[in-house]
Amino acid sequence: MNSKNPRLLTPGPLALAEEVKAAMQTDLGSRDVAFRRVTQDIRQWVQDVAHAAPEYSTILMQGSGTFAIEAALTTFLKDTDRVLVCANGVYGETAAKILRRHRLDHAVITRPITEPVSVAEVEARLAADRRITHLYFVHCETTSGILNPLPELLSLARRRGVTSIVDSMSAFGAIEVDAERHPFDILISSGNKCLEAPPGIAFAIVHRALLTPEQTVSRTYTLDLFDQWRGFEETGEWRSTPPTHVAQALRAGLMGLRQETVAGRHARYAAIRDRLITGMRPLGFLPILRPELQTPICVAFRHDGLVPDAVAFADYYRHLRAARLLIYARFHEATRSFRIGCIGRIEPAWVDELVEATRAFAMSRRWSGGSAGLARRAAAAPERRP
Ligand SMILES: *Cc1c(COP(=O)(O)O)cnc(C)c1O
C-alpha cells in the first residue's frame, strides 16, 4: 500500500484494492480482440450482479455516473412521455435538472432527505396524473445514505404500467438488486462506487423491449445509448475511445465482487458503518437517519455544537485532512450534516484513526477561545467549560 495515499472515507471515488490498481498497467488497443473481451466480461458480469437474464442488456458509457443518467433520460424518453421524479436528496434533484435542461416533461415529488420516498404518495400521484409514463427514483440517496423502497416502487410501476428508471449508483454491488424477483426497466450505476473500480465508466442495464428504434430517441451523438448499444452488439466495440485502463480495473473490481458476493460486501461495509457510528456517537456526532433507514453506504452526521455551519465544517475537514483522512468535502446546510463514506477498501483501523482525530478536534475547539461557537458549545455543556 502506498504510504502517501490519503485514506478515502468518501462515497466515491474510493480506496481501491491493489489488484484493481495493478490491472491498469496493461496498454490495450481499443478495437483489439483483447479489449473486446474485457468489454464483454464487464457487460456480462454487471448483468450477473443484477441477476438480469438475457432479456436485459448492459450498455457501458464513458464518464461518471451522471453521464449514464443523462444518456438514459435523453435516449429512452420521447417528447410525448412524462416522468415522475422522486427526490429526497441531491441526486433526485439532479435528475430533475437534467430533464429541465432537455425540456423533457416531468413532475417531482419532494421529500425531506431524512424520509424515504413514500410509496403511497407515488401511487396517489400516478393515479391522479394519467399522463405519467415513467417513474424515476434513487435506490440509495447518497445525500443521507437513506434506502428507498426499491421492491415496492418497482412493483407499483409494473402494476400501473409505467416504465421504471432506477438510479442505483451508490447501492449496486452492495445492496441486492434482483431483476428476477423485482424486475426493473432501466437501472443505472457506475464503476466507482460499490464495484470498487476507478471513476470513468458508468452503465445502464436495460430491458431489451426498450432497445428498438421506436422506443428510443437520438438527441445527442455521444450520449445516445441505443447507438452505443448497437455498437457493442454488432462489433463488441465502443463507438469512441473507451477508457481502456479503467475498463481493465473495472473488470478486476467485478472479479473481486464475484468472489466476495453482494451479501459479503454488504456485511463488510455494514461493519465499517457500525464501527464509525459507535465511535462517533460518544463524541456527540449523531446520524441524521433513523437506524432502519441507514444503508451501509455512507453516514450523514450532525453535531450542532461542534460543527454548526460550513465554516466550522471546513475547519473539521482540514483537521482530518492533516491526518490524511478524507471525508466528503461538502456540508449540507439544510440539515447541518456532513457525510462519511463506508464503501471501498476502508480498513477498520482508518475508522479508529478518524474517531481519534475527531476527538482531538473536539478538544482543540473546547480550548480555543473567543468564537461565538465556543459560547454556544459552553452553554450546551457547562460542566465541560474550561
Ligand atoms: C455518485 C452518485 C451519482 C453520480 O454522480 P457522479 O458524480 O456523476 O459519479 C448519481 N446518483 C447517486 C445516488 C450517486 O451516489
pLDDT in tens, 133-165: 999 999 999 999 999 999 999 999 999 999 999
**262 closest CA partner among 178, 322, 181:** 178
pLDDT at 366: 81
- Å from CA of 91 to ligand 1 middle: 7
Q: Per-residue pLDDT averaged across 44-68, rounded?
A: 97
pLDDT at 370: 41
pLDDT at 4: 79
- 238 CB near ligand 1 (under 6 Å): no
* Ligand 1 atom, smallest distance to 168 CA: 13
Over 70: is that where the pLDDT of 375 sits?
A: no
pLDDT at 257: 98
pLDDT at 380: 47
Q: Per-residue pLDDT averaged across 188-212, rounded?
A: 98
- Å from CA of 67 to ligand 1 middle: 9
Query: Which grid cell is 337?
Result: 450534516
Q: What is the pTM of this model?
A: 0.94
Pocket test for ligand 1, best of 113, 142, 298 (most atoms within 8 A of CB): 142
Which residues are registered as beta bridge partners of 337?
A: 302, 332
Within its chain, how far is the Cα of 59 from the centroid?
18
Strand 56-62 and strand 201-207: the pairing is: antiparallel
pLDDT tens-digit profile of 254-289? 999 999 999 999 999 999 999 999 999 999 999 999
pLDDT at 228: 98
Which amino acid residue places its CA nearest to atom 2 of ligand 1?
169
Q: Which of 79-88, 117-126, 334-343, 368-377 has the lowest mean pLDDT?
A: 368-377
- Å from CA of 196 to ligand 1 middle: 14
pLDDT at 323: 97
- Å from CA of 126 to ligand 1 middle: 26
pLDDT tens-digit profile of 83-137? 999 999 999 999 999 999 999 999 999 999 999 999 999 999 999 999 999 999 9
263 phi and psi angles, rounded to 5 deg: -65, -40
Query: Which grid cell is 207?
Result: 430491458
Query: Which grid cell is 4?
Result: 502517501
Within its chain, how far is the Cα of 24 from the centroid?
23
Q: Which of 182-186, 322-326, 375-379 has the lowest mean pLDDT?
A: 375-379
How many whole angstroms separate alpha carbon 242 and alpha carbon 287?
Answer: 39
pLDDT at 381: 46
| Domains along the sequence of the chain with CATH | 18-259 (3.40.640.10), 262-380 (3.90.1150.10)
Task: Kindly tell me the sign of the dihedral angle through the C-alpha atoms of 310, 312, 318, 322.
Answer: negative
- Å from CA of 273 to ligand 1 middle: 20
Q: Are 94 and 66 in contact (CB under 8 A)?
A: yes
Over 80: is that where the pLDDT of 376 sits?
A: no
For residue 307, give the H/E element and its range. none
Q: What is the chain's mean pLDDT, rounded?
A: 94
In 3-state terms the chain splits into helix, strand, coil percentages (rounded to 5) of 45, 20, 40
- How many other C-beta atoms lie within 10 A of the C-beta of residue 245? 17
* Ligand 1 atom, smallest distance to 138 CA: 13
Q: Per-residue pLDDT averaged across 194-220, rounded?
A: 98
